[in-house]
Chains A and B, each alone.
Chain A
Amino acid sequence: MNEAIGAVRGVYGVWLREITRATRDRGQMIGGVSRPIIWLLILGVGLNPYFRGEVYGQVAYVVPYTYLQFLFPAVIVLNIMYTSIQFAVSMIWDREFGFLREVLVSPMPRSLILLGKVLGGATVATTHGGLVLLLARFADVTLSFGEMAAALGFMFLLAFGLTSFGIILAARVRSFEGFGVFSNTLILPLYFASSSIFPLDPSLTRTQAVTSYPEWLVFLTRANPMTYAVDALRGILIDFNQFPTVLGPAIVLGMAVIFFVIALIDFNRT
Chain B
Amino acid sequence: MANIVSVENVRASYGGTVALDGVSLEIEEGSSFALLGPNGAGKTTLMNILCTLRAPQDGRVLVAGHDVVRAPRLARRSIGVVFQTSSLDDRLTARENLNFHGLVHGLAPKRRRFHIERVLELVGLQDWQDEIVRTFSGGMRRRLEIARALMHEPRILFLDEPTVGLDAQTRQQIWEYLDQLRTERKITILTTTHYIEEVEDADVVCIIDRGKIIAQGSPEALKAEHGRRWVQADVTHAEARKAILAQFPEARPLGARSIVAPAESIEADYLQTEPFKDKLTEIRYREPTLESVFLSLTGRDLRDRTDGEREAQMAEGRRGGRR
Contacts and interface: CB of A to CB of B under 8 A. Distances in A.
B53 A107 contact: no
Chain B CB within 10 Å, residue with most, of A10, A24, A106: A106
B319 A16 contact: no
Given A9-B106, A107-B76, A101 B100 contact: no
A49 interface: no
Nearest to A12: B103
B100 A16 contact: yes
Contact of A10 (B51, B85, B103): B103
Contact of B87 (A6, A7, A101, A176): A101
B51 A105 contact: yes
Interface string B263-297: 00000000000000000000000000000000000
B86 A103 contact: no
A206 interface: no
B200 interface: no
Contacts of B91: 21, 24
Contact of B83 (A13, A101, A103, A113): A101
A190 to B, nearest CB: 29
A105 B108 CA distance: 19
Given A21-B89, A107-B77, A102 B101 contact: yes
Contacts of B319: 97
Interface string B295-323: 00000000000000000000000010010
Given A13-B103, A14-B104, A104-B53, A21 B86 contact: no
Contact of B88 (A13, A99, A105): A99
Contact of A105 (B74, B81, B96, B102): B81
Contact of A108 (B74, B104, B107): B104
B79 A105 contact: yes
Count class of interface residues, chain A: 20 to 34
B31 interface: no
Contacts of A104: 52-53
B73 interface: yes
B92 interface: yes
Interface in A1-50: 2, 5-7, 9-10, 12-14, 16-17, 20-21, 24
Contact of A20 (B52, B92, B108, B322): B92
Contacts, number: 80
A125 B76 CA distance: 33
A105 B76 contact: yes
B106 A105 contact: no
B92 A106 contact: no
A87 B160 CA distance: 31
A119 to B, nearest CB: 14
A57 interface: no
B265 to A, nearest CB: 47
Interface in B78-125: 79, 81, 83, 85-92, 96, 99-108
A40 to B, nearest CB: 31
A14 B99 CA distance: 11
A98 B77 CA distance: 20
B87 A21 contact: no
Contacts of B53: 101, 104-105
A109 interface: yes
Contacts of B85: 98
Interface string A192-229: 00000000000000000000000000000000000000
A148 to B, nearest CB: 31
B89 A17 contact: yes
Nearest to B89: A99
Contacts of A14: 100, 103-104
Nearest to B145: A102
A13 B86 contact: no
Given A20-B96, A21-B92, A107 B87 contact: no
Nearest to A101: B87
Contact of B104 (A2, A24, A97, A103): A103
A174 B51 CA distance: 24
A106 B105 contact: yes
A5 B73 CA distance: 16
A13 B104 contact: yes
A105 B73 CA distance: 8
A106 B76 contact: yes
A104 B68 CA distance: 13
A24 B134 CA distance: 13
Interface of A: 2, 5-7, 9-10, 12-14, 16-17, 20-21, 24, 97-109, 113, 176
25 contacts: A9-B104, A13-B102, A14-B103, A14-B104, A16-B100, A17-B92, A17-B96, A21-B89, A21-B92, A97-B319, A98-B85, A98-B86, A99-B89, A101-B83, A101-B87, A102-B88, A103-B104, A104-B52, A105-B76, A106-B76, A107-B73, A107-B77, A107-B104, A108-B104, A113-B104
Shortest Cβ-Cβ A-B pairs, 9 listed:
A13-B103, A6-B106, A106-B104, A98-B87, A102-B87, A10-B104, A107-B76, A107-B73, A13-B104
